[in-house]
Structure formats: structure tokens, C-alpha cells
């Protein structure tokens, strides 16, 4: 990977919004909106891994699914390699579906149990007319070897595999169309600890070999830090902080990031015993009716008057470290 | 010497399925002292949950305790009938489960579910039980407990449901609380709240805790002693410091090395454990970890290693600890410090 490539932007989100309507009332006439993603912007450079973290319900998975248009965009733009994806027709979208692939969280639910491994991995090739006949077969074998399975596995069915192996099949399927960009939506959270490391190492190797770009969505912050170059932290549909992975952990700016980091249990008894935790009170508010101003203000220990009136915007603190907090304006 | 609350000896539990006998727990010994928090760590299928279900005698058909003793304050629970167990369960040994949504009954209010335990075990009147239930909700940190007591589980958030579960479990001030992955379904910030609550309550209520988890971070935070399980057997047992700073078993070492460390500045490559856990339908003759162990020797495949003691209270099942074994350093200190 050369430096010139590293710097050009592959994917850019501009003020992306995704609202889900919720109908109330007798005839379903009263409509409210769950603002799952409410105006987020960030860019992902070619060849990098961008981590997206946050608690359940913060909109991180919705963001991933909206990029690949599994959900339609409510407002804003998804610019992939210079093209706006949000307004393309399904037919125009097909070449981009080939360049963007996704790996899902649950390796049990994301593989069709009635298809053999060869058919699962081969299906994307059929759809995009990549290979057929003997060529297709050889490509499938090669992909299985790439992800650490063997060609004997090709004629088996998903139930014959363990969780880690199924996730490998899911990865082989994503690689079948030779994509540029892979959205990894919690790819390891359903796996055991010792298997997680196998899959993460494989993802890292594949990135080096094939020059892939990843959007890595997860709630496990220690694994995200390990794999990502840059990280975005989401809270209730908003991006609250973006920074280089090391910078974010060394010097978190937003009070939510600070609390999130201090909540992670460290597997070292001496450190754990002396660790002064920032324990957040209460739960995440409902995205149907989020707090005014800063959405984190109901749980923030530094809350001020301005927090309920004005919504903070992402401010560059230098070196690409962005944070949305009124404390930075003082 | 601390008083023993629970002493499990030679426990073997199997599931007799149509495929054959699945030997989920294959001879496990451990004990729990008064007021301590013991962590049981292992991957899925290691037998950690089956062990706790055996202690509670909540095994579902076709699971059976084949052998062993579970001594709770000098009573052998294995010999108890279901009726006798009902006096123990919820009263002297209580349990909280991983998923608070499926373990609470959706058609009863939270208050009813706490009161049920109190009325059943403490011969309290309905009024007394209600007061006690409000008291318990306050203890676990539910705001305005006198109002929330009449709520139903769906009106509570995930963290609050787990707090309500803890309130039910601790309502009769049990001697032992078994927590099976109590925070796995929760977000990290809520997990931190619940762990803090458990640490606080252990001192207030004076309950001994068995914490079953796959998360070594949670163990380091809460527990004073750890049991590491793999393939239905205890691989290693010791104090939290012994397990984290001086692990003797290659599996324990592998577990510690395969998790990324937040507090280390430079990025290190993760060291995974290759392969997958053994099939307990046909458990291996030797050490269950042999197939995945980088130090595997011929004897490891043929014979199950005996326990060797490293220090006071620290034992492991590994042939490398045998006096005749080659001296191999299984890794530098388990946890690499800054």
C-alpha cells in the first residue's frame, strides 16, 4: 500500500439520516420517527479500517446497512468512490453492490441452511456473472483455502460447521466478488474468545493481501481498537467523536467516550482493583424522543445550561481528532 | 480458615441424547468459601453452565448427574429430592441468568415476582412481602421503587431487568449466589453498573458469589479466585493473581494472550488458539486441550494428566508440570505490563 493511495477517500457520508416511521392511533395516522441515524458525516480512506462503536441502539448497524442500501437513505449522501449511491436505481446499484460487501454478526442466521458451502460462496459469482463451470469451481476452492477451510468442505452444509468456521464461510462469500470495501457488522461478537482472535487475524491478513477497506462495526471496544486505524463513537444516532485509534484511547475528549472507555473491564487484576471508574447513571434515552441539545446531557457529569439549548457540532481539535461537546467551546 | 459454603467433589454430568452420551462435565472438584467471589471461566461447551445447573439441580432431561457429591453446608444436594431442593433453591442458593428478558415472567409484575420468593420462603404476609420487595428494589438501585414495583418486565430496560433479577435472587439473603453470564447481554456502561452493584451487595448482604463468564476482564474485576474450565474438566485453579500473572496451563495462557489489551500502547498481533474445542460425545483419552496445544507431547494424547500443585491453592492439569517433563517456558508473564 503506497501513501498516495492511503490518502484518497473511498467513502464519504454527508449528513446521513435514516428515520424509521412508527405508526400510532386507530388508523395508524399518527406518525412518529425513530431517528436511528440523525445526521452523521465521516470519510473512510482507501485501505484503512474505520471502526464504529457505540452501545446497542446508537445507530451503528443502521449506518452500515444504509451505506449498502439495505435501508433507503432518508436524507444526506453516501458518496462511494465519487458516486452518490443514495439516489441510484436498483439496476444502477448492481456494479456497486459488487464493490461493497458485508459480513454479518450472526453466522448461524446469515447462511442459508439449505445450500451447500459451494453454492453459498458461488452465488455472488453467479449474480455478477464472474465465473461459471470449472472456473467457478476452482475459484470457490481457492476462496475456501484463503479463509482457512479446505475444498473438502465445499459440498457440506452450514450446520456441519462451528461458529468460527461459519463466519469464515461468510467471509469467503464476501470475497467472492473481489470487493474494494467490506462492511463488517459485529463479525466476531457471536464467537468464543479464542476463535475471535483467529478471525480478526485473518481479516487483517486479507486486508494486507487484497488492499481491502473495512468499516468495522462493534461494541467490543478493545477489539475495535486493535483492528482500526480510525474510530468513530456514536451515541443515539449522532457521531460524538472521531479520532485515530491510539489517540482516542490515550486522550478521549468527549465525556461519553471517556465513560465508555473506563467501563471496559481490563483483564489484569491489579489494574482492575485500582481502577477509578466513571460509572454512567441511567440508561440510553429513547431514540423516539431524544433529549434536546446534546443527546448525552441526561447522563453527563459535566452538564451545563447550554447543553440543553444548543446541539454541539463536531469541532476539529487538531490532527483529525473531532469531538462534539460544548466543553471545547469554553 | 474460612468456612466452606459449597464443596463440589468429583461431579460428572452427562446428557443422554439419541446420538450417545455427551459428557458435559467429566469430574470436577471445587469449593466456595464464605464471602468469596469465585469465577468460572471457559468457552461455550466447556461445561461451566452445566456445572452450575447441576449445583442448582435444574438440569433438564436428558441431563443427569452421574457421579459426585455437592456438599452445601454438609448437606449433599445430589441426594436431595426435588421437593427438598425447593427449600434450598431461591432461599439458600439463588441464581441469576444471562438474559433478563427470558428469565422474568412477562405476565407478572416485578413486585409479584419478588414477593413470590419472600412469601414462599419466609412465611411473610402479603403486606410484609411488599414492603420487603420495595426495600430490595431500593437496594439494587431502582429509582422510585414504590412506584416501579407495579411495573411489568417490558416496562424496564435491560439493565433494570437485571437489577430486578438480582433483587429476586437476593430477597432471601441466600448463602450462595450463582450468576451465569450476568452481564453478557448488556452494554458496557450498563455492565459496569451491574458489576459495581454486585461488588457492593456482596459486602452488604454477605453472600458468596459464583460468577460464570467467558470475559476475563469481568473476572479480574470481581473475583478473588478463578477456575478455568475446558472440555468438561478444570484445567487450572488459583487466585486471580496466580491465574493472570503466573498461569501454568497452556490453555489459560492462550486465553490471556488472545484478547487485545486496551492499556498497551503499541499494537500487537493477537495470538489465537488454533483449532476448535473437543467433541464431548467422544472426549479425547488424554488432555482435552492436547489437539490445540503447541506444547503437545505423546503422553498428552494418551493419558489424562494428573493435577499438579504449583503453589498453595494453585493447581493445574498439565503434563508439563510433571517432574520428568522437559522444562518449557510456556510464555513470559501472562500479562505483559507497561
Please state the three-class secondary structure of B218-262 as a single string: HHHHHCCEEEEEECCEEEEEEEHHHHHHCCCCHHHHHHHHCCCCC
d(CA A32, CA A49): 35
pLDDT of residue B276: 81
pLDDT of residue B264: 65
pLDDT of residue A265: 85
Cβ atoms < 10 Å from Cβ of B67: 14
pLDDT of residue A2: 41
CA-only gyration radius of chain B, Å: 21
| Among B110, B162, B112, B150, residue whose Cα is nearest residue A283 | B162
Q: What is the pTM of this model?
A: 0.85
Q: Look at the alpha carbons of B4, B99, A282, B107 in this order and tell me if their dihedral is positive or negative.
A: negative
What would the pLDDT profile of B261-301 be if each residue is shown by its tens digit? 776 656 677 888 888 888 888 999 999 999 999 889 999 99
- Of A198, A226, A280, Cβ closest to residue B260: A226
What would the pLDDT profile of B168-225 be if each residue is shown by its tens digit? 999 999 999 999 999 888 888 888 889 999 998 888 888 999 999 988 989 999 999 9
The C-alpha of B265 sits at a distance from chain A's nearest C-alpha, in angstroms, of: 7
Task: List per-residue pLDDT tens for chain A, 330 residues long.
Answer: 444 444 689 999 999 999 999 888 777 777 888 999 999 999 999 999 999 999 888 999 999 999 999 999 999 999 999 999 988 999 999 999 999 999 998 888 899 999 999 999 999 999 999 988 999 999 999 999 999 888 889 999 999 888 889 999 999 999 999 999 999 999 988 888 888 888 999 999 999 999 999 999 998 888 899 999 999 999 999 999 999 999 999 899 999 999 998 888 888 888 887 777 888 887 888 888 889 999 999 999 999 999 999 999 999 998 889 999 999 987
The C-alpha of B111 sits at a distance from chain A's nearest C-alpha, in angstroms, of: 20
Q: Are the Cβ atoms of A266 and B261 closer than 8 angstroms?
A: yes
Q: What single-letter DSSP state applies at residue B319? A: G
SS (H, E, C) A190-223: CCCHHHHHHHHHHHHHHHHHHCCEEEEEECCHHH
Taking the domains of chain B in order of start, what are their residue ranges?
Answer: 4-223, 244-333
d(CA A63, CA A51): 12
Q: Are the Cβ atoms of B217 and A264 closer than 8 angstroms?
A: yes
- Of B160, B217, B262, Cβ closest to residue A249: B262
Q: Are the Cβ atoms of A265 and B259 closer than 8 angstroms?
A: no
The C-alpha of A4 sits at a distance from chain B's nearest C-alpha, in angstroms, of: 23
Do B116 and B146 touch, CB atoms closer than 8 A?
A: no
pLDDT at position B338 over 90? no
Q: Are the Cβ atoms of B160 and A283 closer than 8 angstroms?
A: yes
Domain B4-223 top-level CATH class = alpha beta
d(CA B323, CA B287): 17
Q: Which residue has the cell 439549548?
A: A309
Measured between beta carbons, the chain A residues lying within 8 angstroms of B335 are 267-268
Residue B288 φ/ψ, nearest 5 degrees = -65, -20
Residue of A nearest to B183 (CA): A265
Measured between beta carbons, the chain A residues lying within 8 angstroms of B245 are 269
What would the pLDDT profile of B51-103 be if each residue is shown by its tens digit? 999 999 999 889 999 999 999 998 999 999 999 999 999 999 999 988 877 88
d(CA A184, CA A194): 19
pLDDT at position B21 over 60? yes
d(CA B233, CA B47): 8
Q: Are the Cβ atoms of B220 and A56 closer than 8 angstroms?
A: no
Amino acid at each position: 500500500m503506497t501513501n498516495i493511495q492511503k490518502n484518497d477517500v473511498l467513502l464519504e457520508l454527508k449528513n446521513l439520516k435514516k428515520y424509521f416511521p412508527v405508526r400510532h392511533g386507530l388508523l395508524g395516522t399518527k406518525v412518529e420517527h425513530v431517528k436511528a441515524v440523525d445526521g452523521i458525516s465521516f470519510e473512510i480512506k482507501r485501505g484503512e479500517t474505520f471502526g464504529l462503536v457505540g452501545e446497542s441502539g446508537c445507530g451503528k448497524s443502521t449506518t452500515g446497512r444504509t451505506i449498502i442500501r439495505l435501508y433507503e437513505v432518508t436524507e444526506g449522501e453516501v458518496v462511494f468512490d465519487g458516486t452518490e449511491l443514495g439516489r441510484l436505481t436498483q439496476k444502477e446499484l448492481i456494479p456497486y453492490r459488487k464493490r461493497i460487501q458485508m459480513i454479518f454478526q450472526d453466522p448461524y442466521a446469515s447462511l442459508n441452511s439449505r445450500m451447500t458451502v459451494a453454492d453459498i460462496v458461488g452465488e455472488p459469482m453467479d449474480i455478477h456473472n464472474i465465473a461459471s463451470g470449472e472456473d467457478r469451481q476452482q475459484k470457490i476452492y481457492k476462496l475456501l483455502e484463503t479463509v482457512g477451510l479446505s475444498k473438502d468442505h465445499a459440498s457440506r452444509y452450514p450446520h456441519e460447521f462451528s461458529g468460527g468456521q461459519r463466519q469464515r464461510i461468510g467471509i469467503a462469500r464476501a470475497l467472492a466478488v473481489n470487493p474494494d470495501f467490506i462492511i463488517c457488522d459485529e463479525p466476531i461478537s457471536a464467537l468464543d474468545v479464542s476463535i475471535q482472535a483467529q478471525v480478526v487475524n485473518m481479516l487483517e491478513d486479507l486486508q494486507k493481501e487484497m488492499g481491502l477497506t473495512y468499516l468495522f462495526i462493534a461494541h467490543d471496544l478493545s477489539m475495535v481498537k486493535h483492528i482500526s486505524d480510525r474510530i468513530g463513537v456514536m451515541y443515539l444516532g449522532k457521531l460524538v467523536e472521531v479520532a485515530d485509534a491510539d489517540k482516542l484511547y490515550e486522550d478521549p475528549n468527549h465525556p461519553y467516550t471517556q465513560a465508555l472507555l473506563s467501563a471496559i473491564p481490563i483483564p489484569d487484576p491489579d489494574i482492575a482493583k485500582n481502577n477509578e471508574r466513571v460509572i454512567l447513571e441511567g440508561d440510553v434515552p429513547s431514540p423516539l424522543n431524544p433529549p434536546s441539545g446534546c443527546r448525552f446531557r441526561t447522563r453527563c457529569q459535566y452538564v451545563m445550561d447550554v447543553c440543553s439549548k444548543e446541539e454541539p457540532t463536531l469541532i476539529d481539535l487538531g490532527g483529525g481528532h473531532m469531538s462534539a461537546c460544548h466543553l471545547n467551546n469554553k | 480458615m474460612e468456612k466452606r459454603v459449597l464443596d463440589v467433589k468429583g461431579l460428572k454430568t452427562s446428557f443422554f441424547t439419541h446420538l450417545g452420551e455427551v459428557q458435559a462435565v467429566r469430574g470436577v472438584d471445587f469449593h466456595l468459601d464464605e464471602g468469596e467471589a469465585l469465577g468460572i471461566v471457559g468457552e461455550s461447551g466447556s461445561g461451566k453452565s452445566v456445572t452450575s445447573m447441576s449445583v442448582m439441580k435444574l438440569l433438564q432431561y436428558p441431563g443427569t448427574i452421574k457421579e459426585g457429591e455437592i456438599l452445601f453446608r454438609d448437606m449433599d444436594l445430589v441426594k436431595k429430592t426435588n421437593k427438598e431442593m425447593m427449600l434450598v433453591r431461591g432461599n439458600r442458593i439463588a441464581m441469576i441468568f444471562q438474559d433478563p428478558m427470558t428469565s422474568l415472567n412477562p405476565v407478572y409484575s416485578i413486585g409479584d415476582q419478588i414477593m413470590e420468593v419472600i412469601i414462599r420462603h419466609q412465611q411473610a404476609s402479603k403486606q410484609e412481602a411488599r414492603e420487603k420487595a420495595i426495600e430490595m428494589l431500593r437496594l439494587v438501585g431502582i429509582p422510585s421503587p414504590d412506584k416501579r414495583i407495579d411495573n411489568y418486565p417490558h416496562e424496564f430496560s435491560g439493565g433494570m431487568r437485571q437489577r430486578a433479577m438480582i433483587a429476586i435472587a437476593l430477597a432471601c439473603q441466600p448463602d450462595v449466589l450463582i450468576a451465569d453470564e450476568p452481564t453478557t447481554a448488556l452494554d458496557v456502561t450498563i455492565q459496569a453498573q451491574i458489576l459495581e452493584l454486585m461488588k457492593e451487595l456482596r459486602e452488604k448482604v454477605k453472600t458468596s458469589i459464583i460468577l460464570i463468564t467467558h470475559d476475563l476482564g469481568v473476572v479480574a474485576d470481581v473475583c478473588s479466585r478463578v477456575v478455568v474450565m475446558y472440555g468438561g474438566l478444570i484445567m487450572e485453579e488459583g487466585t486471580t493473581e496466580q491465574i493472570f500473572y503466573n498461569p501454568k496451563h497452556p490453555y489459560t495462557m492462550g486465553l490471556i494472550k488472545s484478547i487485545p489489551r486496551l492499556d498497551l500502547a503499541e499494537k500487537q498481533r493477537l495470538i489465537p488458539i488454533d483449532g476448535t474445542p473437543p467433541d464431548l460425545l467422544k472426549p479425547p483419552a488424554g488432555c482435552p486441550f492436547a489437539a490445540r496445544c503447541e506444547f503437545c507431547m505423546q503422553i498428552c494424547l494418551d493419558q489424562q494428566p494428573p493435577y499438579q500443585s504449583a503453589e498453595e491453592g494453585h493447581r493445574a492439569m498439565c503434563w508439563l508440570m510433571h517432574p520428568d517433563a522437559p522444562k518449557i517456558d510456556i510464555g513470559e508473564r501472562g500479562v505483559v505490563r507497561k
